[in-house]
Amino acid sequence: MNILRFTSNLVALAVLALGFTSMANAQASRTWISGVGDDANPCSRTAPCKTFAGAISKTAVGGEIDCLDPGGFGQVTITKSITFDCDSGPGGILSGAGSGIIINAAGGTVTIRSLNLQGNAQGTTGVNIINAATVHLVDMNIYGFTANAIFINNVASGVFLTVEDCRIHDNGQGIQTVTNGAAVVAIVDINRVSLWNDGVAILAQNGSRMQVHNSTIFAQSIGIAQTGLAGAGSNVTVFNTAFTGNGTALQSIGGASIGVSGNVFTQNTTCFNLAGGTISSAGNDNFVFGNAGTGALSAPTPKI
């Protein structure tokens, strides 16, 4: 009888231990970080972690990491569907060498909201998108990176990127999109975004399909530039956007095309630079004044 009782107790203890192990290894659908947190914590609201890197391993696929207060939350690599939300107070990443955020989440959806990314003249790229199905960047301030604020980095499969209510400035380049072949498409929507002092605000390459609207592009050497592989020229549509004080507002190179409608061009050295590509307008609905040179548009597209 004593042997049976002892055996039963051992089994109960083993089951209890397994239960505790399972609980310890479980990932929460929502976790929290704080400037005064600790990555040894479980990342709960009352015991938050300190960094995104510390919290991401404790957050389930499709889950959310929330910022409890402003803080510097460290560089991070994202490998799964997840949301970073710092609406409660602007969270930040002060980057050292490399990228502030790397996204390498095959088939994943990543949303980043209300985050300040500062390159501090050391970081190369603010948001480096290597692989993902969908990326949403909302209400972000990205500045001080030596290469790109946002980079779709030679992705091997299609990606959908939205950039909304963001301020992008003082980087080597603003937004650059590159795919690795004619069959790979990057679809990009840029809405209510201000870009200044980035050298090239937007560089759309290869299979990029992009629309830029309700935005401002100023104090750039080139506002929007395009290049492309043979048979994989990018297509960009621009409407309700102001180009002010740029060297060249729009440049289209070999096989690429830009459509413009309802924009303002002022105080630019050149508005339109056709370098083997096309820049077309739906009639005379762009406001062009006070520029040193206008340049030429392609044959206008008739209004329908």
Q: What is the pLDDT of residues 87-112, one digit of tens each?
A: 876 678 988 899 999 999 999 999 99
Q: How far apart are CA 169 and CA 122, in angstroms?
A: 15
Look at the alpha carbons of 19, 20, 24, 25 in this order and tell me if their dihedral is positive or negative.
Answer: negative
Q: What is the pLDDT of residue 129?
A: 96
Checking if the pLDDT of 9 tops 70, the result is no
**Size of the chain, expressed as the number of residues it contains:** 304
Query: Which residues have C-beta within 8 Å of that of residue 274, sequence separation ≥ 6?
Result: 252, 295, 296, 297, 298
Confidence tier at 180 by pLDDT (50, 70, 90): confident
Is the CB of residue 213 less than 8 Å from the CB of residue 190? yes
Checking if the pLDDT of 6 tops 60, the result is no
Look at the alpha carbons of 70, 73, 77, 81 in this order and tell me if their dihedral is positive or negative.
Answer: negative
CB atoms within 10 A of CB 34: 22
What are the pLDDT digits (tens) for 227-249?
765 556 788 999 999 999 999 99
Q: Which residues of 173-205 are buried (b: 16+ CB within 10 A; e: fewer)?
A: bbbbbbbeeeebbbbbebbebbbbebebbbbbb
DSSP assignment of 106-147: TT-EEEEESEEEE-TTTEEEEEEEEE-SEEEEES-EEE--SS
What are the pLDDT digits (tens) for 201-216?
999 987 789 999 999 9
Q: How far apart are CA 120 and CA 143, in angstroms?
A: 8
What are the pLDDT digits (tens) for 25-41?
579 999 999 999 999 99
Q: What is the pLDDT of residue 156?
A: 77
Percent of the chain topping pLDDT 90: 67
What are the pLDDT digits (tens) for 135-152?
999 999 999 999 999 999
What are the pLDDT digits (tens) for 38-72?
999 999 999 999 999 999 999 999 999 999 998 89
Is the CB of residue 161 less than 8 Å from the CB of residue 186? yes
DSSP β-ladder status, 235-239 and 222-227: unpaired
Is the CB of residue 279 less than 8 Å from the CB of residue 265? no
Q: How far apart are CA 145 and CA 6, in angstroms?
A: 64
Q: How far apart are CA 139 and CA 303, in angstroms?
A: 35
Is the CB of residue 109 less than 8 Å from the CB of residue 83? no
Average pLDDT of every residue of the chain: 88
Q: How far apart are CA 275 and CA 179, in angstroms?
A: 21
In order of their start, the domains of the chain are 63-295 (2.160.20.10)
